[in-house]
Amino acid sequence: DVKVTQSSRYLVKRTGEKVFLECVQDMDHENMFWYRQDPGLGLRLIYFSYDVKMKEKGDIPEGYSVSREKKERFSLILESASTNQTSMYLCASSSSDGGPFNEQFFGPGTRLTVL
């Protein structure tokens, strides 16, 4: 069974803190993605990575950075958390085999609250 796991289901942080969200996939996928999900806005892409140490900005990268040191792990970093980063964060992965329109597999999400 395919698996994408995220380090925390719920997280509460204070404004200005550095926050790390971790994502691990066990499917040997090349591509990994970070989204945030807000009511009425759907999912918006923050960053993605198509290979180890490679990263690309998504639609809303401001205030975030990422790290991919190993193929199975993709970290999202909030350098200085702000209240407008309170959201649900979803990680996903997909294979590059067979073309670019493969299914993305999602983790259960991390609900982050910044006070």
Partner 1 sequence: AQSVTQLDSHVSVSEGTPVLLRCNYSSSYSPSLFWYVQHPNKGLQLLLKYTSAATLVKGINGFEAEFKKSETSFHLTKPSAHMSDAAEYFCVVALLNTGFQKLVFGTGTRLLVSP
Residues that bind partner 1 (CB under 8 A): 4, 31, 33, 35, 40-45, 48, 50, 56, 58, 90, 92, 94, 100-109
Residues 6+ apart with CB under 8 A from 77: 18, 19, 20, 21, 64, 65, 66, 67
Q: How far is the CB of 42 from partner 1 (least distance, A)?
A: 4
Q: How far is the CB of 10 from partner 1 (least distance, A)?
A: 11
Residue (62 or 101) nearer to partner 1, CB? 101
Cα separation, 94 vs 115, whole angstroms: 33
